[in-house]
Structures are given as C-alpha cells and as structure tokens.
Amino acid sequence: MNKVICIVVSLFVITSLTTISSAQEQPELGNWELGIKYIADDDSMPFLLNEDGERVIEFYVHNTQMFEIEVSFTYDIPFDGEDDGPESEKIQAGENETFSLAIENIDVYNFAANTEEEMKITASLVTRAGVQVLIPENQEAIADIKIPTIFSISVDIDDPVGPMNAGTDMILRVTVSNNGNIKDKVGEIDLSDNCPLMTLDNGLEKLLITDLEKDQSTSADLKITASQSHPRKNCKLEITVHSNGAMNAGSSKITDDETSITVEPPLSKPTGNEEDTDDEESITEVVDTNLPSSGISAILLSTCLALFYVNNNRKKC
C-alpha cells in the first residue's frame, strides 16, 4: 500500500514539473508581434503620399518573451518607390519598440490621383537570447499607400518674332498645359502690361472652357494693339493663370509667364503739302526740258539786226 502511494505521488510531482517547465518555455516560441501604427488605428485608411512622393510610416515589434530577440526587416514598396528603414533591430524582453520607415522617390505625377496600392513589411526572427534561430519565424504587416491629387497648370507665351509699330497690332499664341495627375482647366486669367497705350484684346476665353486631361494642352491667340501715339518702348507683358481644380478644392495653384514687346514709331506717310510740292517740281522739270528759254545775248543780237534792216530800207528810199 505504501508503495502504491509513493508511485502516485512521484507521478504527480513529475507531471507538475513537466507542466511548469512547459509553461516557462512556452513564451520562447512565437511570442512576439509585428504591427503598423495605422491612422486612427484604422487599418482600412491608406497612407497618403505628399507631392514629393514621400511618407513616413511607423511600425512596432512587441516582444513578450523572457529573452532578447533580434528581428530583420524587408520592405515591399509600391509605385516603384524606395524604402529607408532599419535592416534589423534588437528588442529586449517585454519591450515594445517603434521604428520608422520612410517611403521615398515615388513620382506621383506618373500615377492617377487617388490610386492605391499595397505596401508590405516582413519581419524575420534572427536570434533568441543571442542564439541563432533554426526554425524560421516570419510575420507580415500590410498597409495601403495612396497617390495624392495634384493640380498643376503651366502657361507659355510665344515670344514676338520682332518689334511692332505704333498704330499696328500683333498676335501672340498662349498655350496652357495640364501637368497634374487629374483632369483640370483654367479657372482665372490675369493679364498685365506696363504700357498704358497698349491694348490687350482678351481672346483667351477658350482656355476657360476647355477641360484638360492629364498631360493635355490647349492654345488661344492674344491680340495686342499699340496706339498711333505709342512712343518707342520695350513693354513687358505678363499672364497669370489659376487652376480651376485647386480653386474648387479651396487651395491655390498659380502659374505665370512673361514676354517683352518692342514698340517702334509709326510707319512714315507723305503729307498732302509734300505731294503738291512733288507735282509742282515735276511740272517745272517738264517745262524746263521741252521749252528752253533764250539767253540775253540772243535777244540783243536780234534787236541789232532789226535796226540794221530798217536803216538800209530808209537809205534806198
């Protein structure tokens, strides 16, 4: 009977020690966690890139084990972006360490606004308590990256091919291009020049009603007139356009361009008096050429001959 009791007690002690040992070793096996600090703790909300194609994302590793662990990281970045984050880190027992991943060099102008793609962080357990891990332990964390909406319009004025004369006009071509990543158009146009006697005939209404898809352009002609009394001067012409999409979004995106116009004096025209003088001179030249006048000597000679003839006739009588 005593032997039976001893055997039962021994089995109970062995079972208890095994259970305690298992409970102590259990935290070593898989008790660490990789996670991303989502916006408002909502994993469905994407991380919006800025206009430079950058975003910093924070992630963490929580080590619930009783030993220090070392974890290595790899990153899968969408939109042909680059990553700048830690390659590996050591996390002490019971600690929750936070790290930063910088997403960089995404050309947001090459992708349509509001496009979303998935980013992934992979963490792999390297060592536990300084001992190399033989059985791989990997965890993944996923988040969505979003392309921002970019309104960007550029304007270009053709330079004049040469100067203009006072009292004349010229046409300059104005071209507007959508360099953003979403459909847009011109919301406002501002024209200015520093020559009060120059008139800008705003023929640019076409730009205000034309929708521009991404990478699309449109042009219109601007008529410029210099008054007859405009002095010789180099005039500065400037045009400013506002993005309609940005205006509707409550922001401001403005671009401008300028050119220089040289105004010369008006073309010279003969007055009425000058025309009369030319006619009189022409008539005088014709008379002088076809009807030459006699000299004084010829007149005296003719008079003497006449007197000599008269005297001879009297003597005969």
Q: Which string of DSSP letters, residue by residue, matches 166-216?
A: TT-EEEEEEEEEE-SSS-B-EEEEEEEES-TTEEEE---HHHHH--B-TT-
153-264 and 26-146 share a CATH fold: yes
Give the mean pLDDT of 49-65: 97
The one-letter amino acid code at 245 reads G
Does 134 have pLDDT greater than 70?
Answer: yes
**pLDDT value at position 311?**
55
Higher pLDDT, 241 or 273: 241
Count of other CB atoms within 10 angstroms of residue 269:
6
Give the mean pLDDT of 237-261: 94
Residue 222: closest CA among 242, 241, 243, 199:
199
The one-letter amino acid code at 199 reads T
**DSSP bridge pairs for 60:** 35, 98
Range in 59-68, 110-119, 173-182, 201-210 with the lowest mean pLDDT? 201-210
**pLDDT value at position 288?**
40
Does 272 have pLDDT greater than 60?
Answer: no
**pLDDT value at position 267?**
81
Domain ranges of the chain: 26-146, 153-264
Which residues does 129 contact at the CB level (< 8 Å), separation at least 6?
28, 67, 68, 69
Select from 1.10.10.60, 2.30.140.10, 3.40.720.10, 2.60.40.10 the CATH code of 26-146: 2.60.40.10
Give the mean pLDDT of 144-163: 96
**DSSP bridge pairs for 142:** 120
Global pTM?
0.69
Give the mean pLDDT of 230-240: 95
86 close to 99: Cβ distance less than 8 angstroms: yes
Percentage of residues of the chain with pLDDT beyond 70: 75
pLDDT band of residue 299 (cuts 50, 70, 90) is: low
Whether domain 153-264 has CATH 2.60.40.10: the reply is: yes
